[in-house]
Amino acid sequence: MPPDTRLDTDLDHRASSSAPAPPPSEPPSLAPRELARWAWRQLTSMRTALLLLFLLALAAVPGSVVPQEGVDSTRVAQWQADHPRLTPVYEWLGLFSVYDSVWFSAIYMLLMVSLVGCIVPRTRVYWRGLRAQPPRTPRRLDRLPAHRSFTTDAAPEEVLGLARERLRARRYRLRRPTDDASDEAGDGSVSAERGYLREAGNLVFHLAIIVVLVGVAMGSLWGFRGSVVVVTGDGFANTLTRYDEFSAGPFFDPDDLEPFDVTIDDFDLTFIEEGRQRGMASQFRADVTYRSSPDAEPEQRELAVNHPLSVDDTDVFLIGHGYAPQITVRNDDGSVAYSGPTVFLPEDTTFRSFGVVRVPDATGADGERQQIGLEGEFYPTYFFIRGEGGGPGTAFPDARNPVVSMLAYGGDLGMDDGSPQSVYLLDKDALEPLTDDEGKPVRVDLALGQTVDLPDGLGSVSFDGLSRFVKLDVAERPGQGLALAGLVVALLGLLGSLYVRPRRLWVRAERTDDGRTLVSVAGLDRSSGGDLSGELDDLVTRLSPTPQTPQEQTP
């Protein structure tokens, strides 16, 4: 008789159905809604907020190391000329305008979203905790890390009354008796808690950080910042065309510029003569005359570092200074083709300075129009080191032996086509060096009061005088008051979160078989590293000035 195949098949089917399914090779993928919820929780976690805050501080470092277009485009141009290989990389990364870059803005916005998403749920939790009562008294107080117990002849109600009075004096919040029969707050024990301001300090700190970010954003969106160089004796009017550098937020309207003007009457500078700080400026200040509007009366003011001039909502800062040699270029017939103080920008702490002179309308010996460019350096206290590796330099930043040394160029200055150029750089693409009879480039070396003739009947160059200039930084930041208030509040919140220590105390008093009262006191410090020994000892002393038969003392 053939075997019953149906039975074998049924047994195999039962065995296969009862066997556990093999674990999946990879976890199941999250649905779009679950993935979005997970991403939101990660973004709004406190760890992510702290990481973004650190990244924001780190991202601001290039803005203080790399020259910025909105602050000093001349330094940017010089840096790009000195580093032609790195320039394309820096431009692609936006390092010449860090605070306007996409990646910096992305970190900024993510930090704002993270802080808001982190604070809102924590505020709800804190509000519920603030309204809740202190927890009930544990049954075994002796199991807590810090506890005391003693016996006394006072009645339990008297001991508990003293405990409530003492704890209220120490700004503890007491648990109120309820109708719940299992509630021990009204039955032989006192439950108290303090330190609610610790979490409030955390919330205030994070809210204040948001306020600071909003204030900074307001200044970036509705404010402006510009810089201008003004020679002593000249003035500056707050108009857009007068600025050397100017950057404004997308919502700033140039018509909103305050119509004030400033004149630099005098500039006082003192250099340190001796010691390791020799050559450093000990102080510099400018005496200015300003008018808040064209019709206003002139007012006198002293402008110094960290003491800006405030006109309505605009602040004028004194941030730098330098020299402006009085250069005069004459044509071959003696007529003046160029004359005036020429700003030379300092290159180091010795005030070795770089500058250019443009003469677009010079006249040659043949009477034809010529364009001349001079580019070189100014040395306040000139000296020359001979030998290999030597060269000109300045021994001291004060003007004790001023010398101007420049190379002369002829050709097209590029000023006729109307293209914008920096007044502190010379575009030599269409210029050729002027040469002497031996074919060497002409270098114009001038001490104060000297004159040098140019070749080919192009006239002469003289160094007739020396002035100083100041560099002013003009800024309007609508949100700076809000940002300052946010910083102050953030500091207060941080101090509260650091120094306020949440803790709980419990006191139980009950009759013993011998008719005396056993008092148990225990505490729990909810902050790390807290020590309640002193507070428990003080409470025990208040409840029984001469405690009898201490049962247990655990610090």
Q: What average pLDDT does the segment 43-62 reach?
A: 86
Residue 500 has pLDDT above 50, yes or no: yes
Residue 18: pLDDT band by 50, 70, 90 thresholds? low
pLDDT of 439: 84
Of the candidate ranges 220-234, 367-381, 518-532, the one whose mean pLDDT is the lowest: 518-532
Ranges of each domain in the chain: 34-129, 139-194+501-554, 215-321+473-493, 322-471
Is residue 309 within 8 A of residue 262, CB to CB? The reply is: yes
**Mind listing the pLDDT tens digit for each residue in 176-217?**
865 444 444 456 899 999 888 888 888 888 889 889 989 988
Higher pLDDT, 542 or 365: 542
CB 470 within 8 A of CB 320: yes
Q: Is the pLDDT of residue 11 over 70?
A: no
The answer to whether 258 and 278 are in contact (CB under 8 A) is no
More confidently predicted of 553 and 237: 237
Q: Give 418 or 502, the one with higher predicted confidence.
A: 502
3-state secondary structure string across 19-62: CCCCCCCCCCCCCHHHHHHHHHHHHCCHHHHHHHHHHHHHHCHH
Quick one: pLDDT at residue 203?
87
The CATH architecture of the domain made up of 139-194+501-554 is 2-Layer Sandwich (3.30)
pTM, two decimals, is 0.69
Does residue 346 carry a pLDDT above 80? yes
Top pLDDT among 468 and 366 is at: 468
User: Is pLDDT above 70 for 519?
Assistant: yes
pLDDT per position as a tens digit, 286-341? 999 999 998 999 999 999 888 999 998 899 999 889 999 999 999 988 899 999 99
Pairing relation of β-strands 173-174 and 189-194?
antiparallel
Q: 52-78: b or e for each residue (b if 16 or more CB lie within 10 Å)?
A: bbebeeebeebbeebbbebbbbbbbeb
Which DSSP helix (H) or strand (E) runs through 315? Answer: strand 314-330
The partner residues of 391 in beta bridges, in order of sequence, read 385
Enumerate residues 6+ apart whose C-beta is below 8 A from 446.
403, 404, 405, 452, 461, 462, 463
Residue 255 per-residue DSSP state: G
Q: Which of 497, 480, 494 is nearest to 199 (CA)?
A: 497
pLDDT at 23: 59
pLDDT: which is higher, 231 or 438:
231
Quote the percentage of the chain above a pLDDT of 90.
30
**The pLDDT of residue 389:** 64
Mean pLDDT in residue range 395-403: 92
What the block records as the tokens of 361 is: 């309308």
Average pLDDT in the 88-116 region? Answer: 88
3-state SS, residue 508: strand
Residue 302: CB atoms within 10 A of its CB come to 13
User: Which residue in the block uniquely carries the two structure tokens 């729990």?
Assistant: 524
Judge whether residue 275 has pLDDT over 90.
no
Q: What is the pLDDT of residue 550?
A: 46
DSSP string, 362-385: EE-TTS-EEEEEEEEEEETBEEEE
Termini Cα distance of the chain: 88
* 13/455: higher pLDDT: 455
For residue 418, pLDDT over 70 is answered with no
Helix/strand/coil percent split, the chain, to 5: 30, 35, 35
68-79: average pLDDT? 76
Query: Angle at the Cα of 177 (from 173 to 179), degrees rounded to 5?
Result: 145
Tell me: the pLDDT tens digits for 108-157? 889 888 888 888 888 888 888 778 888 888 888 888 888 898 988 888 89
Residues ≥6 apart with Cβ < 8 Å to 418: none
| Residue 528 banded pLDDT, cuts 50, 70, 90 | low
The better pLDDT of the pair 168, 69 is held by 168
86 has pLDDT over 60: yes
Q: Cα 467 from chain centroid?
A: 35
Q: What mean pLDDT value characterizes the chain?
A: 84
pLDDT for 71 beyond 80: no
The predicted pLDDT at position 287 comes to 94
